[in-house]
Amino acid sequence: MNDEEIRRVLGLLHQDDTLRAFASLVLGQPPEQGEECLERLGRGGLAVRDEDGRWRARPERFRELLKAAAPPARRLTGEERVLEAFLVDGRLKEIPAKWEKRMVVLRHISRVFEPGVR
């Protein structure tokens, strides 16, 4: 998925007729707009035609676009996960009970302090 496809889908909602048609479909009401408008929504992935020929909205298309546009999630190391669990905004919220986790937190704290600064 590329930026052009995202712009095309959002462009459909910029047009008054397709926006109204999409809103009607989301609300479960038959849209007043014509078939051409629904076809455009279908090409953009915002609507699909059911087996009985009726159109329905596909709001999950927005999740698909966001997922495709988002940068891949960075995997945290074990040490980063421990620090995330016990530090909030760089402040220690509690001391870990397990020795291994406590050592991770204490190593981090020792790196943060500057020698000679109170």
Predicted confidence (pLDDT) per residue in 25-77, tens digit: 999 998 988 899 999 999 999 999 999 989 999 999 988 888 888 777 788 89
For residue 113, pLDDT beyond 90: no
Overall number of domains in the chain: 2
Q: How far is CA 24 from CA 33, 44, 47, in A?
A: 9, 16, 11
Residue 31 shares a structural domain with residue 11: yes
Residue 63 shares a structural domain with residue 13: yes
- Where in the sequence is the domain holding 35, given as residue range(s)? 3-69
Domain assignment present for residue 117? The answer is no
Identify the pLDDT of residue 105: 94
Decide if 62 contacts 83 (C-beta within 8 A): no
Domain assignment present for residue 96? The answer is yes
pTM value? Answer: 0.58
Write out the H or E segment, with its range, that includes residue 10.
helix 3-14
Residue 65 shares a structural domain with residue 8: yes
Q: What is the mean pLDDT of residues 69-95?
A: 88
Domain assignment present for residue 118? The answer is no
Decide if 5 contacts 11 (C-beta within 8 A): no
The DSSP-derived string for 90-103 is TEE----SSHHHHH
For residue 116, pLDDT beyond 90: no
For residue 2, pLDDT beyond 80: no
Residue 61 shares a structural domain with residue 41: yes
Residue 108 shares a structural domain with residue 50: no
